[in-house]
Amino acid sequence: MVPQCHHIMPDNHQCGSPALRGQDYCYYHRPGRQPRTRTPRTRYPGLDLETLPNIDNPKAIQQTLSTVIQALAANTISLYQAQTMIYALQLASNLS
């Protein structure tokens, strides 16, 4: 039989995860475990949205696309953010 974690949850039931070998707690509840810290990020730290041109003509769309690619290459925006912005630029280029 596998020993279970001895941690008691706030609603008074036992954790139920298997305990680490030779210990009383699971990986998550073991004493001294430090939670993972994340570095805070702003939404678009590499793009100044105030200076982006209005994407109403092909030249402005090209300039904005260049800015997005540079921000992606500099790792100041996420891949998801870049994909979303490039898709919006694609839609704008189809309309102009």
- Closest-CA residue to 67 (of 80, 79, 49): 49
Domain ranges in the chain are: 1-34, 58-95
- Give the whole-angstrom CA distance, residue 95 versus residue 31: 59
Predicted local confidence at residue 40, as pLDDT: 57
What is the DSSP code (8-state) at residue 18? B
Q: Which residues contact 46 (CB under 8 A, 6 or more apart)?
A: 71, 74, 76, 77
Contact by Cβ (8 Å): 29, 8: no
Predicted local confidence at residue 43, as pLDDT: 56
Contact by Cβ (8 Å): 25, 7: yes
* 67-95 tens-digit pLDDT: 889 888 888 888 888 999 999 999 999 88
* 5-24 tens-digit pLDDT: 999 999 999 999 999 999 99
Q: Which residues contact 30 (CB under 8 A, 6 or more apart)?
A: 20, 23
* 25-75 tens-digit pLDDT: 999 999 888 877 776 555 555 666 667 778 889 999 999 999 889 888 888
